[in-house]
Amino acid sequence: MLEVKLHDIGEGMTEGEIVHYHVKEGDTVKTDQPLVEVQTDKMVAELPSPGTGTIKEIIVPVGETVQVGTTLLYIEGEGANQTSEPEPKENRKPAKANNQPMQPKRMQTTLNRVLATPYTRKIARDNGIDIEEVQPSDPSGRVTEEDVYQFINGNQTPKAEPATESKSIAKPTQPDEIPFRGIRKKIAQKMTKSINTIPHVTHFDEINMTRLVELREELKASGVSVSVPAYLVKALTIALKDFPVFNAELDEENEKIILKKDYHIGMASDTEDGLIVPVVHHADQKSIQQIHSEIKELTHKAKEGKLEHADLQNSTFTVSNVGPLGSTGATPIINYPETALIAFHKTKKVPIVTDDNEIVIGHMMNLSMSFDHRVADGATAVAFTNRLAGLIEHPNKLMLEMI
């Protein structure tokens, strides 16, 4: 008997929510065949079958959140890691309650025979599509994202279903509760730990973006398009090297501040599932063009739910670019256990007094920097943002620093 447990699939996860089973009791499965989709704190992952056999029993229902190490189902047949017969139901501890209604039996066994990635299934679920009705275009029988979109746009005919007695099916009512689990729950836990552990101080400043805006327009006219965040990230890595205390982590237990030698910049991204922080690793070793391309790719993957564990690991400093949303100020919460987080806000055209006492129209951007007051003081934070502003306000100096 094969025992399939929820195992740690990355980043030291401790629990996962059972989103969907690809199989039902009595199904025959092969080694590495996807068995179940699990929602971790950052993504949906599939657990494969450890061997060949028949699904004997499914233990944990859809919608349940369980700890790593929990047995999800049993497979009767060949394969490694054989276990004894399943423990009698009456001897098992009750599953962790999550106050969610049980899925009807039909819903738990729907979609079992369709081959599709978790992301493709998510598209179908988000659009109220039964993926079993989608005709696969791939010769292997796998339903692709394009197949689902074709179905949504009415370019596919639903699969014929066996004639059954017509029944009036009532449409489900709109839920008035939002499940507090998965990514949203993880965000809450991390933010609570951060605000309860770190004495936050937020420093506000502004940066004259005029010369950088002019440089971007000049490059754009020559066919080179680079986003503002790419310049900001590059300037940050330079400023962090001058003020390493902000690229650090406090180890209270051993009474030391660990200055990180790597510069991994987390880019806070807003997604439908919540806040995700993909990371530009070794940003100090990359050109502005490379940083631009990587930010663009990570942002796309975050919104599409395609981030991998490696994309989310080991950030040393986090950036929140909320300017495009219209923000003018905030008091951001630090991405624990980092020392600081900086938020870049909306860039606005405003009158500016030049050194010659002339009034011109320029581009100004506000920033908010929250830092750990146990590690750094206000004067250091001001010096840090002054250094950052100097690099942004004079892009030629930024270029010189990279030579």
Look up residue 343 and give its two tokens. Answer: 């938020």
Q: Residue 24's closest CA among 40, 38, 36, 39?
A: 36
* Residue the block writes with tokens 């951007």: 365
363 catalytic, yes or no?
no
* C-alpha atoms less than 13 angstroms from C-alpha of 284 in its C-beta half-sphere: 17
Separation of alpha carbons 289 and 28, rounded Å:
50
DSSP line for 244-272: GGGSEEEETTTTEEEE-SS--EEE-EEET
Catalytic residue of the set 281, 309, 373, 394: 373
Look up residue 255 and give its two tokens. Answer: 């009474």
Separation of alpha carbons 34 and 45, rounded Å:
10
Residue 343 parent element (H or E):
strand 340-353
Separation of alpha carbons 297 and 360, rounded Å:
37
Residue 349 parent element (H or E):
strand 340-353
Each as own residue / partner, the long-range contacts of residues 46-50 (CB below 8 Å, 24 or more positions apart, any chain) are 46/22, 46/118, 47/4, 47/6, 47/7, 47/9, 47/72, 49/2, 49/4, 49/75, 49/79, 50/2, 50/4, 50/75, 50/79, 50/80, 50/81
Look up residue 257 and give its two tokens. Answer: 């501040």
Query: What single-letter amino acid sits at 138?
Result: D
Strand order in the sheet with 65-67: 44-48, 34-39, 15-21, 65-67
DSSP lists the bridge partners of residue 353 as 359
Contact between 255 and 190 under an 8 Å Cβ cutoff? The reply is no
Q: Which residues are catalytic?
A: 373
